[in-house]
Amino acid sequence: MASGSNLGIVKQRLAAARRITVLTGAGISADSGVPTFRGADGLWRNYRVEDLATPEAFQRDPRLVWEWYNWRRELIATKQPNEAHKAIAKLERRCPDFWLITQNVDGLHRDAGSQKVSEIHGNIWKIRCTGCGVVEDNRDVPVPLLPSCPRCEALLRPHIVWFGESLCTVDLDSCSRALQHCDVLLVIGTSGVVYPAAGFASVAKEAGAFVAEINPDSTPQSSLVDVSLQGRAKDLVPLLFDPI
């Protein structure tokens, strides 16, 4: 459990900060019942990444990839944001210069009210045409297979960044600004293994930010952050914004 003094240090830093950036991973949604990727109940446990979250996999077997995303859409459709998502949305309204970077595709931050957010790995509720590139919101559960574009009849795909695909430049620019200029970076619920997000804590640190991590376990970033708060996001994140 996080020690009281460490919690106090992070609270003070947040209270004094003008510019705050938050980076989240699957761990923040674990408390909403969305399985993480690499934990004991991880999504990847039953599948090999190469079989599902890559353009090659989609090329090879679009039906299999769509079946996996349909399974995840059905699962996520029943989940709600938790106290950690809500606390971050509240912080956005209070802090003059705030940005949220999430690796999560579940949309729960937006459901909690976050607006200043970069969904750097995409969003499971958006689908994109492989032909004309149009991106649309789609809440069908499930998406009837195989979906084709009403405009150009090409195959539609999840609007998700797969391994080996570059993040969109708009997101990368927003992330760079948010990391280079923040007084405090909070890193919540990520195993810190997927790049470029795995490098974000050191970018902020090198630019002079105070960096704190919230995670029940230690991660590759734990050695470089200023404070590591060991615990669940739903328990710790709301405490960070209590009046001191």
Active site amino acids: 121
Report the C-alpha gap between 107 and 76 in whole angstroms.
9
Closest CA to 142 of 39, 51, 73: 73
Residue 15 binds Zn ion, judged by CB under 5 A: no
Residue with tokens 């997101």: 171
The alpha carbon dihedral of 220, 225, 228, 234 has a sign of negative
Which of 14, 105, 149, 156 touches ligand BV8 by CB under 6 A?
Answer: 105
Tokens of 90: 């509240």
Identity of residue 15: A
Which of 17, 27, 101, 179 touches ligand BV8 by CB under 6 A?
Answer: 27
Which of 70, 114, 123, 219 touches ligand BV8 by CB under 6 A?
Answer: 219
Query: Are residues 35 and 28 in contact, defined by beta-carbon separation less than 8 angstroms?
Result: no
Residues 46-75 touching ligand BV8, rule: CB under 6 A, are 53
Residue 146 binds Zn ion, judged by CB under 5 A: no
What is the binding site for Zn ion (CB under 5 A)?
Answer: 129, 131-132, 149, 151-152, 154
What is the binding site for ligand BV8 (CB under 6 A)?
Answer: 25-28, 30-31, 36-39, 42, 53, 103-105, 121, 160-167, 189-191, 193-196, 214-217, 219, 232-233
